[in-house]
Amino acid sequence: MESSPASTGPASRRGLLRWAAGQEPALLALAVFALVLWPLNLLNDGDTWWHLSAGDWILAHRAVPHVDPFSYTFAGQPWVAHEWLSEVLLSLGFAAAGWPGVMLLTAAAFGLATWLLAREAGRSLSGLPLALTLLAGLALFAPHLLARPHILVLPVMVVWFGGLLAARRERRRPAWGLLAAMVLWANMHGSFLAGIAVIAPFALEAVLEDRRALGGWLLFAAAAVAAALCTPFGLDGLLQPIRLLAMHNVQGIGEWSPLRFDAVQPLHVVVLAFAVFWLLRRPRIGWIRWLLLLGLLALSIRTERHEMLLGLLGILLLAEPIAAALGRTGRMPAGGTAWVLLPVALLATLRLLLPIAAPVTGRDPAAAIAAVPPALRTQHVLNAYEFGGYLIRAGIAPYIDSRAELYGDAFLDRYNTLLAGRPADVAAVLADNDVGWTMLTPGTPLAAAMAAMPGWHRLYADAVAVIDVRGAAPD
């Protein structure tokens, strides 16, 4: 006897919902992957351009640069290209599909990190609690979601921190295989130092529980440092992030600046939401993990980019306490959130079927660079800091770019003095560097000083950049 549609329909729907409930990490990751592409400004940063050029250089020379191949002010000077592996990946993505390839690579890395986080947090949480915990942590990445190495390395970071937490959960030292993640991390992004540093609180937690654990954790920490040395730069690569953090000019760089309080930021909302949850549910968190989270919060307030680390570790550290505080391990009935996840997955699939184009960011000085005659491109340029990456990508050697660790404090001090636009300072830099043209941000004191500089004329101006050239204006 055949079943009627009325009898099979509800059963089929329940089966679909049960299946969807078991695929929460994958569905959440798919949703995040698509949302990153639709339509956030992944290319809204000039650093992406020079990272691509660095990757191109590495692939063309089949080697990693040890001296600066791009600027004219520091040409041939030692440079630790510590993100070389990420740069190769970006270059390959661009070679495969242009800017859409770069965007897809970035979105895939963020989506994979989301899947790994959801799987780890899903040991304790599911359904709406899992989705909200992920949303809170990932919201801290929103201001930093760019096609750059710090996003590409996220899956490696999740594997590393997840491995440390697994070791604590299972009352053992971390697995030796985890060191492979540190090798990758050290060759992709300078934040690997945080991965080494976070060993300490977990080791302390283990030792306070059982003193016999000290030897295993110390041995693993030493092995992690050795793994971080496995880069083309050895000790210089290990010391690179330390030297960068020691620079007094770092906090003048956008992503390294203190957290703003003149407008609502994602971190404000997340901290407030967790404070309310804590007051209502009082999740139990060990004092060492409290100190770790509060330390990361303090770092995030002092330097914005650390909020990404807080978001990632916050998800991993708080999933179990949140689940316990909810009194039901955070789990929802099968299919409880599938009604939300399935439509999101369908929207994500639709996004992937649509063309992916590089967004117009409003910060790209492409039109200004296109206006520079070929003969002028070979002359020295005095450029704004934020234009350095675009110039490198165009094959023009810049005066300065965002590789602060290459230029050092002394050079950056002089550049910051130059920004005030005092005629004597500007004239000295123009003469010392044999500058033939400038590309500056309109409306700044330096741009105004160049507009009034004797013996110079304006070649080009738009809302993004102004170009002045040495010599009299053509008739």
Query: What is the number of helices (H) and of strands (E) in the chain?
Result: 22, 4
Q: What is the mean pLDDT of residues 403-423?
A: 96
Please report, to the nearest 10 degrees, the dihedral formed by the alpha carbons of residues 441, 445, 450, 451 taken in order: 90
Of the residues 353, 382, 400, the one at which a domain ends: 353
For residues 320 and 248, membership in a common domain is answered with yes
Whether the pLDDT of residue 7 is over 50: the answer is no
For residues 187 and 77, membership in a common domain is answered with yes
> Is 144 among the domain residues?
yes
Digit-coded pLDDT (tens) for 343-356: 666 666 676 666 76
Of the residues 353, 388, 419, the one at which a domain ends: 353
Residue 23 per-residue DSSP state:
T
Domain around 66: 23-353
Domain count, the chain: 2
Whether the pLDDT of residue 334 is over 50: the answer is no
Q: What is the mean pLDDT of residues 185-207?
A: 98
Both tokens assigned to 296: 């990361």
For residues 315 and 447, membership in a common domain is answered with no
For residues 406 and 324, membership in a common domain is answered with no
pLDDT at 19: 52
Q: What is the mean pLDDT of residues 80-96?
A: 98
For residues 156 and 215, membership in a common domain is answered with yes
For residues 257 and 117, membership in a common domain is answered with yes
Per-residue b or e along 19-58, where b marks 16 or more CB atoms closer than 10 Å to that residue's CB: ebbebbbbbbbbbbbbbbbeebebbbbbbbbbbbbbbbbb
Both tokens assigned to 472: 């009299």
For residues 316 and 280, membership in a common domain is answered with yes
> Is 13 among the domain residues?
no
Whether the pLDDT of residue 313 is over 60: the answer is yes
Task: Say which range, 20-29, 30-39, 319-328, has the weakest mean pLDDT.
Answer: 20-29
For residues 77 and 211, membership in a common domain is answered with yes
Q: How far is CA 76 from the centre of its chain?
A: 28
Q: Return the number of other C-beta atoms located less than 10 Å from residue 448's C-beta.
A: 14
For residues 225 and 348, membership in a common domain is answered with yes
Contact 131, 138 (CB under 8 A): no
Whether the pLDDT of residue 88 is over 90: the answer is yes
Q: What is the mean pLDDT of residues 207-223?
A: 98
Q: Return the number of other C-beta atoms located less than 10 Å from residue 358's C-beta.
A: 15
| CB-count burial class (<10 Å; 0-12, 13-18, 19+) for 7 | exposed
Mean pLDDT of all residues belonging to the chain: 90
Digit-coded pLDDT (tens) for 422-474: 999 999 999 999 999 999 999 999 999 999 999 999 999 999 999 999 987 66
- Of 200, 233, 21, the C-alpha closest to 122 is 21
Of the residues 326, 353, 380, the one at which a domain ends: 353
Task: Indicate the pLDDT class of residue 231, thresholds 50, 70 and 90.
Answer: very high
